[in-house]
Amino acid sequence: MRHQFTDKELFDKMKLGDNEAFKIIYKKYRANIINQLQKKGHNNEDAIDIFQIALARLYEKISSGQITELWKGKTIGALLSSFVRNVSSEIFNKNKKAVLDTYLLESLIEKGEDKAKQEANFQLIERSLIEMGNPCKSLLEAFYFEKKSYVQIRELFKYKTIDSAKNAKAKCLKRLKKLISNH
């Protein structure tokens, strides 16, 4: 029969960088937290990512000494849940920005009253993309027109992290908007 660790014991093991504690906490809370995230509207893949990022951050904070003790009356589960909420909020805000960026780009195409005006706006975007040149042109086309994910863009353009890909896309979009407003 396996020993059932208390939260204090698991916390102390994590402080020492013990991977066994990480695995126990992962197994203990994974299904419940993923289920909660799905009930809040996250798909399964995002829920798993949020849980794993939150647990990794919690483990890092404890093993690095940034969190030195469990607060009175708090459990590892409660602490993990607060990390999950923070990660979920971060992802929501990043997704909201991506949706807003998409809306802004699409609004440039859709703001014309008729098809001729829409076509003129689209041609303006095309000319501005050509004027920008690569890698911005290719990156924005991959994201907006080919609907590639940030993971695919990271791999395609050889960025080290997904955040690097997001930052590059944001900078390119800003340049595109400036070029369009100058025409």
CATH number, position 86: 1.10.1740
pLDDT of residue 157: 93
- Are residues 44 and 74 both part of a single domain? yes
Query: Can you tell me the distance from the alpha carbon of 152 to that of 82, in angstroms, rounded to the nearest whole number?
Result: 30
Q: Is the pLDDT of residue 153 over 80?
A: yes
Q: Number of C-alpha atoms within 13 angstroms, CB side, residue 33? A: 29
Q: What percent of the chain has pLDDT over 90?
A: 16
* Residue with more model confidence, 126 or 8: 8
Q: Is the pLDDT of residue 7 over 50?
A: yes
- Are residues 124 and 74 both part of a single domain? no
Read off the DSSP letter of residue 58: H
Q: Is the pLDDT of residue 44 over 50?
A: yes
- Are residues 74 and 122 both part of a single domain? no
Look up the pTM and report it: 0.53
Read off the DSSP letter of residue 141: I
Return the minimum-mean-pLDDT range out of 70-74, 102-106, 155-159. Answer: 102-106
Angle, CA of 113, 182 and 138, to the nearest 5°: 85
Angstrom distances, CA of residue 98 to CA of 149, 151, 167? 11, 14, 11
CATH number at residue 120: 1.10.10
Query: Can you tell me the distance from the alpha carbon of 71 to that of 97, in angstroms, rounded to the nearest whole number?
Result: 35
- Are residues 119 and 83 both part of a single domain? no
Q: Which of 174, 163, 176, 155 is nearest to 53 (CA)?
A: 163
What is the average pLDDT score of the chain?
Answer: 82
Q: Is residue 57 part of a domain?
A: yes
Token output for 103: 């809306």
Query: Can you tell me the distance from the alpha carbon of 71 to that of 89, in angstroms, rounded to the nearest whole number?
Result: 23
- Are residues 130 and 81 both part of a single domain? no
Q: Is residue 79 part of a domain?
A: yes
Q: What is the pLDDT of residues 88-143, one digit of tens each?
A: 888 776 665 565 455 556 655 554 456 666 667 777 777 888 888 889 989 988 88
**Total structural domains in the chain?**
2
pLDDT of residue 17: 84
Task: Give the domain extent around 172.
Answer: 111-182
Q: Number of C-alpha atoms within 13 angstroms, CB side, residue 96? A: 6
- Are residues 80 and 116 both part of a single domain? no
pLDDT of residue 106: 60
- Are residues 60 and 125 both part of a single domain? no
